[in-house]
Amino acid sequence: MRTTILAFAALTAATVASAQSKSAAEGIAEYRAMLADGNPAELFEAKGEELWKTRRGPKNASLEGCDLGRGAGVVKGAFVELPRWFADTQRVQDLESRLLTCMNTLQGLDAAEIAKTPFGKGEQKNLESLVAWIAAESHGMKFNLPQSQAAEKTMYEAGKRIFFFRGGPYDFACATCHGEDGKRIRLQDLPNITQHEGAGAAFGAWPAYRVSSGELWGMQRRLNDCYRQQRFPYPGYGSDATIALGVYMGVNAKGAESIAPAIKR
Amino acid sequence: MTDPMRIRAQASGDKATVRVLMSHEMETGQRKDAAGKTIPAWYIQEVTARLNGAPVLSAQWGPAVAKNPFLQFSVKGAKAGDKVSLTWVDNRGETRTDEATVS
Amino acid sequence: MPTRRELLQRSATLAALMAGVGVLPGIARADAAGYAKAAFEAKSMAELTRTLGLATPTESKDVAIQGPDIAENGAVVPLGASTTLPGVKRLMLLVEKNPAMLTAMFDIDEHVDPAISTRAKMGQSSNVYAVAVMNDGRVLYAAKEVKVTLGGCGG
């Protein structure tokens, strides 16, 4: 028994010594690679596909007639072109606000109610699944947000202003964390969203399955949490401010590959 | 109501690599909610894998297996077209079986 | 005919169940038949092997433990146990500093490769072990340290 304990101790010492020769960043990259195969987001994707085709709501209709920008019912490739201008609502919309529109018009569900519902509860849970599946249908495709409409260009500029706007009790802006190269919080590298590579890494990674909570987060929830961390009040689910930020990030990410739904800490 | 598993089974030579994602909270029974009450343990205890109906792997799990569990193993003597099924039973007595075809 | 030990284990389990039911009536909780409850409560390798009636484990180069050096979050740590030896009966994954060491155990026979991967929750940085129980009674293990930057059990 004693020899076993000594063996354990010696093994521990040896293992610790070798672990320190690899950098923390390399270690984390290895860890993430190990998790890439078998992303629990796939469980949400399966639900999302089913929800898209299920008749629901007061109008007992499915979402198969929903236009995500490439025509009614066209899901493939839609994710990498959002946010974009929609003629029927006369708005630039991101994926989540567009889903609210469709859930409202096609299914008769109350969009305002859903927007007020806390993340992870009720219809918000269904949105998580829908967002996961719709993003997966564009997995590997390159971001190509349209900037042909005047409103789309305005939203880009608005998004840029909001990105750099400092406020709140700590005088933070999105740019405080995401406006320069080489920043990190603990062991998470912070992408520089003002640049193409960083924008691609950031915008192309959400929605994502967060292992720390075992939850699927869409971009709206991710932005909500950013605002919480900046000690700002949240702009509101599907609000123009959050959509404008999406346009700013997405256009900066033009040509980058979408890896959504990704897996995150 | 249980959610479906994602099962992928890929043949290579005379074996098939099976990768499974299960939808389950895997609650340890150690956590407390916002009100301070312990969240009861709720986790998969038994997992069985079958090839064309015959058991090939059985496992017992504790609550330390991660939420939305992932499992990977290789079945011998499997070929494209064979059926792989997975069954889990949790500590509440709930159970779920899903099947996939080896590709 | 259940042994005295099995009866004692069952009554302990029943007592725990009854206490649990008292707190939350309406949720039927019954451990799966044949579930090695005591093994999943063992706090040390010694207690685990004693509970399962196994020989003292010895380290072996023929058993491998796969896992990351650093886990960004302890909630999901990929771990694998494998061996190149024939005649394996069971593979187990252990996390030393978890409230109970045993994470999972897999019965191995001629139908599957003696190589299993899953994901565990780790409360803190700890040694993790892959243990192979052989048909001839030998118990062999491999260990590595996994550093956890953020404990994965707190929610």
Residue (of C34, C152, C50) closest to C102 by Cα position: C50
Residue B41 DSSP code: P
What pLDDT shows up at residue C28? 45
Secondary structure (DSSP) of chain A? -HHHHHHHHHHHHHHHHHHTTS-HHHHHHHHHHHHHSS-THHHHHHHHHHHHHS-BTTTTB-STT-BSSSSBT--TTTGGG-SEEETTTTEEE-HHHHHHHHHHHTT---HHHHHHSPTTSHHHHHHHHHHHHHHHTTTTPBP-----SHHHHHHHHHHHHHHH--BTTTTB-HHHHHSSTTEEETTEEEP-TTSHHHHHHHHTT-SEEETTTTEEE-HHHHHHHHHHHTTPPP--TT-HHHHHHHHHHHHHTTTPBP--SEEE-
Pairing assessment for the beta strands A215-217 and A262-264 based on DSSP bridges: unpaired
pLDDT at A17: 43
> What 8-state DSSP symbol labels residue B28?
-
pLDDT of amino acid C74: 93
DSSP C45: H
The reported pLDDT for the residue numbered C152 is: 57
Q: Are B11 and B61 in contact (CB under 8 A)?
A: no
Partner A contacted by B19 (CB < 8 A): yes
Q: How many CB pairs (< 8 A) connect B and C? A: 123
What confidence tens digit (pLDDT) does each residue in A231-252 have?
999 999 999 999 999 999 999 9
By CA distance, what is C44's nearest residue in A? Answer: A5
Q: How far apart are CA A218 and CA A131, in angstroms?
A: 7
pLDDT computed for residue A26 by the predictor:
86
Helix (H) or strand (E) holding B2: none
Query: CB-CB: which of C31, C103, C113 is closest to B64?
Result: C103
Nearest to B21 among A38, A47, A211 (CB): A38
**Distance, in angstroms, between A123 CA and closest chain C CA?**
23
Quick one: which of C102, C120, C117, C5 has its CA closest to C45? Answer: C102
CATH of domain A40-66+73-264: 1.10.760.10
Q: In chain C, which stretches have pLDDT less than 50?
A: 15, 17-28, 154-155
Identity of the residue in C75, C103, C109 whose CB atom sits nearest the CB atom of B67: C75
pLDDT confidence tier of residue A28, bands split at 50, 70 and 90: confident
Tens-digit pLDDT profile for residues C31-64 = 777 899 999 999 999 999 999 999 999 999 999 9
Phi-psi region of B35 (alpha: psi -120 to 50; beta: other; left: phi over 0): alpha
* For testing contact with chain A, the best of B1, B2, B6 (most A CBs within 10 A): B6
Give me the pLDDT at residue B36, please: 92
Q: Region A17-21: what's the mean pLDDT?
A: 48
Contacts of A15 in chain C (CB under 8 A): 127, 143-145
**Which tokens in the block code for residue A215?**
């939850």
Q: Which CATH architecture has domain B6-28+41-101?
A: Sandwich (2.60)
SS3 of A81-134: the string is: HCCEEECCCCEEECHHHHHHHHHHHCCCCCHHHHHHCCCCCHHHHHHHHHHHHH
- Give A37-64 pLDDT, tens digit per residue: 899 999 999 999 999 999 999 999 999 9
Per-residue pLDDT of C130-139, as tens digits, reads 999 999 999 9
Residue of B26, B31, B33, B45 best to disrupt the C interface, most CBs of C under 10 A:
B45
Predicted confidence at residue A37, as pLDDT, reads 87
A63-94: per-residue pLDDT in tens? 999 999 999 999 999 999 999 999 999 999 99
Check CB contact of B39 with chain A, cutoff 8 Å.
no
CA atoms of A122 and A141, how far apart (whole Å) = 31
Rounded Cα distance, A110 and A103, in Å: 8
Radius of gyration of chain B (CA): 15
How far away is chain B from the Cα of C75, in angstroms, using its nearest Cα? 6
Q: Could A214 and B68 be called an inter-chain contact, meaning their C-beta atoms sit closer than 8 Å?
A: yes
> How close does chain B come to C154, measured CA to CA in Å?
7
Question: Amino acid identity, residue C143?
Answer: A
Residue to mutate among A5, A212, A215, with most C CBs inside 10 A, is A212
pLDDT in tens, A203-241: 999 999 998 889 999 999 999 999 998 899 999 999 999
* A8 and C CB contact within 8 Å: yes
Instruction: Please indicate whether, in this complex, the C-beta atoms of A46 and B72 are within 8 angstroms of each other.
Output: no
* Catalytic (active site) residue A226: yes
Residue C10: what pLDDT? Answer: 58
DSSP calls for C110-135: TTB-SEEEEEE--SSSEEEEEEEEET
**Model confidence at A184, in pLDDT bands (50, 70, 90)?**
confident
Cα–Cα–Cα angle for A197, A201, A204, nearest 5°?
A: 120
Mean pLDDT of A92-103: 98
- Only one residue has tokens 């030896």, namely C85
Among candidate residues B31, B28, B5, B29, the one with its CA nearest the CA of residue B18: B5
* A176 token code pair: 């405080």
Contacts of B25 in chain A (CB under 8 A): 214
Compute the half-sphere exposure of residue A220: CA atoms within 13 Å on the CB side of its CA. Answer: 29
C-alpha A66, offset from chain centre: 21
Give the tens place of pLDDT for each residue, B29-78.
999 988 999 999 999 999 999 999 999 999 999 999 999 999 999 999 99
Asked if C72 lies within 8 A of A4 by C-beta distance, the reply is no
Domains of chain C (ranges plus CATH)? 54-148 (2.60.40.2470)
Is any Cβ of chain A less than 8 angstroms from the Cβ of C55? no
Can you tell me the mean pLDDT for A16-22?
A: 51
Q: Evaluate whether A197 touches A204 at the Cβ level (below 8 Å).
A: no
Contact B40 C121 (CB under 8 A): no
Q: Which pLDDT value is given to residue C113?
A: 96
- Residue C21's pLDDT is 39
Q: What is the mean pLDDT of residues A13-18?
A: 46
A43, B72: Cβ pair inside 8 Å? no
